[in-house]
Structure 1
Amino acid sequence: MAPARIIDTPVVTNTYDYIVCGGGTAGCVIAGRLAETTTTRILLIEAGPDSKDLATMHMPGDWMGNFDNNKTDWNIVTEPMAGANGRRVKCSRGRFLGGSSGVNGTLCIRGTRQDYDDWGLEGWGGEDVFGYMKKAETFHPSARLKGAAGVHGTEGPLHVASHELAPISERVMESMVEKGLPLCEDMFSTGETAHGCGHVPRTIHRGVRTTAADFVTKGFKRENITIMTDVTVDKIVVESQGDGLRATAVDLVAENGTRSRVGASKEVIVSAGAYCSPAILLRSGIGAKDELEKLGIECVADLPGVGRNLMDHILTFQFYQVTEPGLTYDSQVFHDPQGLAKLRKQYGDTKSGFLSVFPFGAFCFARLDDRLEDCEAWKNAPRKPGRDPMGLAPNQPNIEMWNTELYGGPKQFDSYPIDGSHTFAMCTLLFNSNSRGSVRLASSDPLKNPLVDHNYLDHELDLQVLAEACRYSNEIVMEGVGTKNIVKGSWPPGLKHHTHKTREDWIPHVKNSATTCYHASGTCKMGKSDDPMAVLDEKLRVRGIDGLRVADASVMPIVNNGHTQMATYAIAEKAADLIKADAR
């Protein structure tokens, strides 16, 4: 999308009680919950379009369609990263109402309760966060996944249900169990299991993806919310009031370049995600003073932690061919030139078929202590009492693994099996990485994406642990009873990674295939008053500025050892309660 022309100086056009900057996962939840107080006036601002008629968002199996459209993807690409062989990695983010809840893998993997206890912040322990996850959802039990007692919600706008596994996933789960990962069906909801496999609830119900937009639309649409789409937040207006500073308004840029300013009588809440929330703060003069001055931005609050502490769960894909047709969905999607057209008609008629699911299958968490006993980096790394060298307690997993149900992955994986082959991938994800990245401004122009450097695999121990995880994942496929007799070889043909035996053999694969898991977080971290890098206090308030909070995945001091979707819903639910409490 070409940059718009920015013209004139804004004046206040309207005033609301609360302005929520970002209509993604967190922003929609916060706006919807604040609107439960019917006398409150809320403005929700989203840079992308309304998602009501966006078929690629509602149809789970066509998620990649969002990434082919410059209007619905932020199209953020990292800076070159030495640990990933100098590659740049695409970090797709949803740019429409509902945000990345409309493009993610639909997975409700909450992490462990210990993850949130480790934040060490009042009101943010495991019991608190899991309670807010429960509040957000309505869980629909099934014969496959009845749901663990007491952990699922029944009244939230987010509809959650189980996934019917493809045959390849049944085989992979059988191999996981045989290779030392006990079956615990709803383990990803309880937060109590660090080593085992199970079924993952998904944000799909009756073939339709449910997203954060459901908190402000459909049955939860309220007249006291004004939703602006196709409008970019430039900056927060901060003014002197009494002896301090206060956020009083927000400057906006429309698609045609027209500027405007809207006022906030109570609070401004920034919920634009781990990349865009720090960018908004930086453009507002909130960040490291020396860096802001280099861009010609006046510093109103010298907070050096803004844009630092960028975390993610680095991910690798390992592809395999299988000998039997019908185990994967490849024949439906890739082998028939009219396959996708047929699938779209089936979905349109009945909300069923491949496009009604997100094709991730069997999942597991794993501890790797025993497997890393001979690793020098592991043995020699410093560790705290009761923790491993990655900083994890025994009740927290080192890695996550799962399989795809056809060939698939980020857009750089484009060797499609159109020759009649049947394929799947094992996805291997690293928790609690030591490496940290950053988000910086390229310029003060709000229509330019920030500079993102995930700094993947900067730390040697991250590389060694992920290499061992890939080795374990490969053993599950090549040696497990459910899969060892159906694997024909790697995909594309000619790759030999499945024959590798040592951890060192896997390191080139890790460096070459490492990619984002879309779990960016931590760039506006909350922390205690003695933490110089904490941007926020325990109530999500920006330090030194009244009437301004941040609430999304950027606030996490440490990213959870799971997926960030449900954690972000919890952060938003708690943020709304904190805001309501302060208003009282």
Structure 2
Amino acid sequence: MPHLQSVVNGRTDYDEWEREGAEGWSYKDLRPYFLKSEGFSPTVNNPDIRADEHGTSGPWKTRRPGVDPISKIMLKSCANVGIPITKDFNTPRGTLGATTWTAFMDGKGYSEYKIQTIRQIYPKNSPRLGSSSATAYLTSDVLARRNLFVALTCCVEKILFDNGSNMPRAIGVELRTSRDGPLFRVSARKEVILSAGAYVTPQLLMISGIGPRAELEEKEIKVIKDLPAVGKNLVDHAACGSVVYRTTKSLPTYDRLNNPLRALVALVQWYITGKGPMAVLTSPGGAFIRSDDPSLPYDTPGEQTPRNLVDLTSGPNAPDLEIAWWKQFLNILSFPLIGLDGGLGKTPPGIQGITISVVSLRPKSSGEVTLKTNSVWDKPIVDPKWFSDEHDMHVLTRGLRLILKIARAKPFADFADYREDKKYPFLWLGTQDPDALSEEELHGFIRQKSTPAWHPACTARMGKSEDSSVVDTKLQVHGIRSLRIIDTSVFPKQISGHPCAPVIAMAEKASDMIKKAHTG
């Protein structure tokens, strides 16, 4: 969900980071950087959001867009099963409850995702609109700096080191534009900063000689520094898949925009005014909940909460499940309608509806990133090892049964069509009575349909020990001088929300660290 503002999660996730050994990375330490990066714009759509709990002058623009009719109905249905309505997810008080999302959008209501649709249609004349980390920080003034050179369509193949002292020092990188293209070397006078993400950061470290010794030697890579935790501890949020509900004509969704003419009219309306069907987010709302909340109807009649349910959250006000209702990506357009196959499938003509999903935020299972070869041009092997601990399946199953019950609650139940239709097998689960479904049936659906939430983290995590972490609290790689990592791979533990805002706050804090290190 690239257009959603990452939920800041209250204080407990980051206080947990500090408890894990990441001193200086508590909520108190990060909050100034959340506020520094954000430029929140109050609108008529969010009169109850407290401006003093948001940054208002930062470069990354946020606002709350209009609420579509289905979200209003979904919020009432959430409330009717016991999920409280909250005004704002992004506060120090935590995220529990249901509401509509705040989004990264500019003052005219353009999100970066929507701007990408214009760029696909008009690649030469598209405006620089929307709000993303690129539009916020890579402004025309920044790009015009004489000390900045931006190289596109390049791939860094290796980090270079000077081994002339007791501790290796990063001195630059090698890169190419293709596997067989000319080799270029770029020297670093002060530092090399690695920001390649939770998959490629560990891959590049290992190819460069930093990682588990046995794995490097197996790939005939010279060991610069033996760090066993490189590529380990991979954690991502796992979604149950798409539960699709067909709705009646009395609740029109934007499936009607599958009609090319209507879609074109909506696109022009949004492009000119920033309003209309396309101004609604791809995922307009959701909820954060706890799987052990006794007030929510997780269980079937007569069933008791299992004794082996473990609290893996960072605190009593932190969630371990997220619910979202959303729409598919329809070619280059995005509307609130049915979403198939993680949003990639095309909705059949003649039906309309909505997709609901639940996401596991605090899994016990963890995976790893390993090398396929010693070349960065060969993708690494990513094994998330989902559900290797059965506890994760149990938690996600509880969440899946809950969203089935939300969809049976009023007022959504007044508009849902629960009739089975063999012509559309993807509707099957949404037509079933949640109290009649067995655990095995829900497990089977999850195993067949589950998808990542695209929030991988922790593969080069921060900590004190070289045995269990990769970087120290200054984000410097253990045992290596002048090499720093700034991306989600250094998260000490996975957060119970979306990682966009936290990684920007981390980058803001790191920039202060770097300036202090080199200016005294």
What residue number does 2:25 align with? Answer: 124
Q: 1:191 to 1:236 in 2, by over 3 A?
A: same
Residues of 2 paired with 1:110 and 1:289: CA distance?
A: 37
Q: TM-score, normalised by structure 1?
A: 0.76
Task: Please tell me whether the aligned partners of residues 298 and 401 of structure 2 are also in contact (alpha carbons under 8 angstroms).
Answer: no
Per the TM alignment, residue 415 of structure 1 is displaced from its structure 2 partner at its CA by 5.2
Q: 1:248 to 1:376 in 2, by over 3 A?
A: farther
Task: Please tell me whether the aligned partners of residues 244 and 353 of structure 2 are also in contact (alpha carbons under 8 angstroms).
Answer: yes
Supply the AA of the counterpart residue of 2:493: I
What residue number does 1:487 align with? Answer: 416
What residue number does 2:402 align with? Answer: 472
Per the TM alignment, residue 412 of structure 1 is displaced from its structure 2 partner at its CA by 7.0
- Give yes or no for the alignment of 1:572 onto 2:500: no
What residue number does 2:319 align with? Answer: 397
What residue number does 2:209 align with? Answer: 285
Per the TM alignment, residue 358 of structure 1 is displaced from its structure 2 partner at its CA by 2.8
Per the TM alignment, residue 418 of structure 1 is displaced from its structure 2 partner at its CA by 1.1
Per the TM alignment, residue 375 of structure 1 is displaced from its structure 2 partner at its CA by 8.2
What residue number does 1:58 align with? Answer: none
- The partner residue of 2:359 within 407, 425, 429 is 429
Task: Report how many aligned residue pairs link the two structures.
Answer: 470
Identity of aligned residues (%): 29
Supply the AA of the counterpart residue of 2:355: A
Map 1:14-163 onto structure 2 (within 5 A).
104-120=2-18, 121-146=22-47, 147-163=49-65
Task: Please tell me whether the aligned partners of residues 377 and 460 of structure 1 are also in contact (alpha carbons under 8 angstroms).
Answer: no
- The partner residue of 2:152 within 217, 223, 229 is 229
What residue number does 1:328 align with? Answer: 253
Map 1:138-537 onto structure 2 (within 5 A).
138-146=39-47, 147-186=49-88, 188-205=89-106, 206=108, 207-209=110-112, 210-214=131-135, 215-218=137-140, 220-223=142-145, 224-255=147-178, 257-316=181-240, 317-324=242-249, 327-332=252-257, 334=258, 336-369=259-292, 370=294, 378-380=306-308, 388-404=310-326, 405-408=336-339, 410=341, 414=345, 416-419=347-350, 421-479=351-409, 481-489=410-418, 492=424, 495-497=428-430, 498-501=432-435, 502=437, 504=439, 505-529=441-465, 532-537=467-472
Supply the AA of the counterpart residue of 1:132: Y
Q: Structure 1, residues 130-161: CA drift from partner, whole Å, max 9, x if none? A: 32121111001112224324221122211111
Per the TM alignment, residue 441 of structure 1 is displaced from its structure 2 partner at its CA by 1.4
Residues of 2 paired with 1:305 and 1:556: CA distance?
A: 13
Task: Please tell me whether the aligned partners of residues 436 and 455 of structure 1 are also in contact (alpha carbons under 8 angstroms).
Answer: yes
Per the TM alignment, residue 339 of structure 1 is displaced from its structure 2 partner at its CA by 4.2
Q: Structure 1, residues 403-437: CA drift from partner, whole Å, max 9, x if none? A: 11311255575251312x11101121111100101
Q: Structure 1, residues 514-572: CA drift from partner, whole Å, max 9, x if none? A: 1010101111100123x612000011000000000101011011111111111111111
SS at structure 1 position matched to 2:43: coil
What residue number does 1:6 align with? Answer: none
Per the TM alignment, residue 117 of structure 1 is displaced from its structure 2 partner at its CA by 0.6
Task: Please tell me whether the aligned partners of residues 298 and 399 of structure 2 are also in contact (alpha carbons under 8 angstroms).
Answer: no
Task: Please tell me whether the aligned partners of residues 67 and 280 of structure 2 are also in contact (alpha carbons under 8 angstroms).
Answer: no
Task: Please tell me whether the aligned partners of residues 522 and 554 of structure 1 are also in contact (alpha carbons under 8 angstroms).
Answer: yes
Identify the structure with the greater strand proportion: 1
Per the TM alignment, residue 450 of structure 1 is displaced from its structure 2 partner at its CA by 1.2
Give structure 2 stretches of 5+ with no counterpart. 113-130, 327-335
Q: 1:261 to 1:397 in 2, by over 3 A?
A: same
SS at structure 2 position matched to 1:119: helix
Q: 1:137 to 1:409 in 2, by over 3 A?
A: farther
Residues of 1 paired with 2:148 and 2:195: CA distance?
A: 16
Q: 1:200 to 1:496 in 2, by over 3 A?
A: closer
Q: 1:352 to 1:392 in 2, by over 3 A?
A: same
Per the TM alignment, residue 508 of structure 1 is displaced from its structure 2 partner at its CA by 1.5
Residues of 1 paired with 2:94 and 2:215: CA distance?
A: 43
Residues of 2 paired with 1:408 and 1:257: CA distance?
A: 40
Per the TM alignment, residue 503 of structure 1 is displaced from its structure 2 partner at its CA by 6.0
Q: Structure 1, residues 458-513: CA drift from partner, whole Å, max 9, x if none? A: 2111001100001111111112x220111103783551453232561422221121
Give structure 1 stretches of 5+ with no counterpart. 1-102, 382-387
Supply the AA of the counterpart residue of 2:256: S
Task: Please tell me whether the aligned partners of residues 233 and 251 of structure 1 are also in contact (alpha carbons under 8 angstroms).
Answer: yes
Supply the AA of the counterpart residue of 1:157: P
Q: Structure 1, residues 157-184: CA drift from partner, whole Å, max 9, x if none? A: 1111102121111100111112112221
SS at structure 2 position matched to 1:242: coil
Residues of 1 paired with 2:250 and 2:160: CA distance?
A: 60
Per the TM alignment, residue 278 of structure 1 is displaced from its structure 2 partner at its CA by 0.8
Residues of 2 paired with 1:184 and 1:348: CA distance?
A: 31
Task: Please tell me whether the aligned partners of residues 330 and 417 of structure 1 are also in contact (alpha carbons under 8 angstroms).
Answer: no
Residues of 1 paired with 2:165 and 2:105: CA distance?
A: 50
- Give yes or no for the alignment of 1:547 onto 2:482: yes
Q: 1:349 to 1:395 in 2, by over 3 A?
A: closer
Residues of 2 paired with 1:288 and 1:422: CA distance?
A: 51
